[in-house]
Amino acid sequence: MSKPRKPKGRPVSGWLILDKPVDFGSTEAVSKIKWLFNAQKAGHAGTLDPLASGMLPIALGDATKTVPYVMDGRKIYEFTVTWGEQRSTDDLEGDVIESSDKRPAEQDIRDILPNYTGVISQIPPQFSAIKIAGERAYDLARGGEVVEIPSREVEIFRLTLLGAEENCAHFEVECGKGTYVRALARDFGVDLGCFGHISNLRRTFVAPFAEEKMVPLAELVALEAIEDRDERLAALDALMVDTVEALSDLPHLPLSEDQAYRIRMGNPVIVRGRDAPLEAPEVYATSKGRLVAIGDIAQGEFRPKRVFG
């Protein structure tokens, strides 16, 4: 009987909040970070297009168990819409499919913004990761197919016009999960009768991680010059964010060492203390500052769903 394979890499765990550069894919970024940190596993929380820059949270090791909680968080983007052309990809990468000599006045732009605030209906771009009959829309689009993508509801919490020029306008949007900023640019242009596409896109926030947590890729790559392996990995590890920070929007339950042991064995524990949540569908539990588990509280018990080493 063959022995189980030992995982390659270190069992390092935490989040690296990457400031992704333009012309660097999200999957490529994850592979690079996994290699740099010599991590056993890695994953990201929310794809950024190659032409977009900014915050790409990358989970390493056990932190990958917390990816869904970051995926569901609010996001903030700064973006520029260039008027006069609608493109197949709704950004600079695509072919021009519609054009216009018309340019919108600043007040006309401001007048349409309330239509894009709150819960709105949005059709994702043809070049998107939406699955159509089991295939990614962008794969079908690259093959020359024009597919009908159903609209879906997304939430826009805040939409601000930062400035307007003759040929373009600059915006900031705070939005919920599943929002396509490229689709906003496309729809702005259609509504204004001048067409439009994204010419610059930067993500500055993915809840709960703040902008100052971002680490530029160049800073990480520069650490490759450290010849001593242990020193290099220590310098990289110092740039990580603790796994528990991804769960800061959830209720918190502190555990004793004995309770933590029981939880790690997969057993529920009785919840005591006046500050303990009475009922909660999702709670994160820690012991001595370390993440132990994510679970729920019901009938006076904390029941683990995901356990951390």
Instruction: Catalogue the active-site residues.
Output: 49
Q: How does 194-207 read in b/e, with b if 16+ C-beta sit within 10 Å? A: bbbbbbbbbbbbbb
Residue 49 CA to residue 57 CA, distance in Å, equals: 14
Peptide bond just before 254 cis, omega within 30 deg = no
Beta partners for residue 284, in sequence order: 252, 294
Q: How many CA atoms lie within 13 A of 219 on its CB side?
A: 14
Q: How does 281-298 read in b/e, with b if 16+ C-beta sit within 10 Å? A: eebbbbbeeebbbbbbbe
Q: Are 302 and 283 in contact (CB under 8 A)?
A: yes
Beta pairing class for 290-298 and 280-287: antiparallel
Instruction: Give the dihedral sign, CA 215/219/223/224.
Output: positive
Token representation of residue 270: 């009785």
Q: Are 54 and 20 in contact (CB under 8 A)?
A: yes
Residue 86 CA to residue 198 CA, distance in Å, equals: 9
Residue 66 CA to residue 46 CA, distance in Å, equals: 13
3-state secondary structure of 112: helix
